[in-house]
Amino acid sequence: MRRGSNLPAVGTYNQTLVLDLIRRSADGLSRSELAERTGLSAQTLSNVARRLVDTGMVVEGAPVVAGKGKPPTPLRLNPQSRFAVGIHLDPAVDTFVLVDLAGTVVAHEEHAPHPGPEHGMPLPDLASRANELLDRAGVRRDRVLGIGVAAPGPIDAERGSLLEPPMLPAWHHVPLRDSLQQATGLPVTVEKDVVAAMVGELWVDASQGLGEAIFFYYGAGVGVGLAVDATPVRGRTGNAGDVAHLVVEPGGPACRCGNRGCLGVAVAPERLIEDAGLGAGTAPAEWRALLGEMTERALAGDARAGAVFDRTAESLARAMVAMNNLLDADVVVIGGPMWSRISRALEPRLARALATSTESTTTRGIELLGTRLHTDVAAVGAACLVLDGAFTARPAGLMIG
């Protein structure tokens, strides 16, 4: 458990630490409970609590009568006090969400991706859709902390731009962060989609069971988000999590890297669709519907669709076991826009493949969890990036340069 500090110089850290504890408690926490959990003095805790109440982010509940003495007053999160916008750019669909301070989605929209640079700059459309989302939700701009954008890598984290994300030619070398901030008047954060997804899972993890975890993202592409000590791993350039070229099917389909059977091509949505007999050369916008049809066929007993899912489960399990052997996390969360369409058919097969793997070297089996954020995981995660940056206490922030 993180502890607070009574030094005046770390007031911001103490405030975010207390807020984080309050938001993770369904019934709220009294000042005495917060003092016990943080190690803060009564005076310091009282000052922090007063500031949070004054900002409206925390409200005082009814006193809880339990025995003699003055009944404690619980402090509870006020979710409607602040909001954040999350955007996920994906070759199949652009997702926009508005979340409150608890990470709950209060507005959601989906749009077709921008077709390409030959149709003009995509930024004006992105900005207008973000503004329209806020207008329709009736949320004042002074209550919006900012916009988080999640996209496939690679990204230029320093400049807040995308480099050359696969299947998103309209976004190559676009100064996304600065341009969107100028167009909306709101702070903008740009993050790799798998990192954003992991942030979202951590934000809604009230039990803090994802301290060490792997998020396996399955969309138009594949990737992993990592958490160590309940902190997302970004890497030096913000591009951690690329596992597409991990070989999981020796002799499998050719990859553009020159190898065969890389994870990215082995479990690619278009390969599953084609091998199940649902069409070749399909466009990303069609994949979710076709994967949903493939799932229904497999659940109805279609042998061809079932065999494709069996093979896919083996490939995914091999990749997950290899990653877990390296990290010893033992918890894998899986989600993404394509995963939601195939999970009913694939998840039971994947769980069996993980349980029977002979390649695992860790001492505990892998616990496979489905995302709690459903299809919107990367978009919600992008919004939670804004909340996380504003309200999550990290000891690294106390270091003096």
**What are the pLDDT digits (tens) for 17-45?**
888 888 888 888 988 889 889 898 888 88
Same domain, 230 and 357: yes
Same domain, 64 and 142: no
What are the pLDDT digits (tens) for 41-70? Answer: 888 888 888 999 998 989 988 776 665 656
Same domain, 34 and 97: no
Q: How far apart are the first and last CA of the chain?
A: 25
310: in domain: yes
Which of the listed residues 77, 105, 122 is the one where a domain comes to its end? 77
Same domain, 126 and 93: yes
What are the pLDDT digits (tens) for 261-275? Answer: 999 999 999 999 999
Query: What's 338's DSSP letter?
Result: T
Q: Any idea of the CA torsion for 19, 24, 26, 27, to the nearest 10 degrees?
A: -50
Same domain, 330 and 232: yes
- Angle subtended by helix axes 193-203 and 377-391, to nearest 10: 70
Pair 127, 111: CB distance under 8 Å: no
pLDDT at 398: 42
Same domain, 160 and 225: no
Kindly tell me the burial class for residue 11, based on how many C-beta atoms sit within 10 Å of its own C-beta (0-12, 13-18, 19 or more): middle
Same domain, 216 and 343: yes
Pair 391, 19: CB distance under 8 Å: yes
Same domain, 229 and 350: yes
- Domain CATH for 69: 1.10.10.10
Same domain, 164 and 177: yes
**DSSP reduced 3-state for 225:** strand
Same domain, 125 and 171: yes
What's the rounded Cα separation, in Å, for the pair 84 and 92? Answer: 23
**Residue range(s) defining the domain that contains residue 18:** 8-77
Which tokens go with 203? 């934000």
Residue with tokens 């507005």: 107
Pair 323, 359: CB distance under 8 Å: no
What's the rounded Cα separation, in Å, for the pair 325 and 227? Answer: 15
The single-letter code of the amino acid at 249 is E
Compute the mean pLDDT over every residue in the chain, rounded to the nearest whole number.
Answer: 89
What's the rounded Cα separation, in Å, for the pair 259 and 68? Answer: 72
What's the rounded Cα separation, in Å, for the pair 387 and 141? Answer: 15
Residue with tokens 């070398």: 173
- Domain CATH for 235: 3.30.420.40
Same domain, 341 and 217: yes
CA-nearest of 153, 241, 144 to 190 is 153
Which tokens go with 384? 């939670």
Q: Any idea of the CA torsion for 272, 88, 94, 334, to the nearest 10 degrees?
A: 30
342: in domain: yes
User: How does DSSP assign 94-138, residue by residue?
Assistant: EEEEEEETTS-EEEEEEEPPP--GGG--SHHHHHHHHHHHHHHHT
Look at the chain and report how many structural domains it folds into.
3
Same domain, 72 and 135: no
Specify the pTM: 0.87
Instruction: Extract the residue ranges of the chain whose pLDDT is less than 50.
Output: 4-11, 396-401
pLDDT at 7: 40
The single-letter code of the amino acid at 340 is S
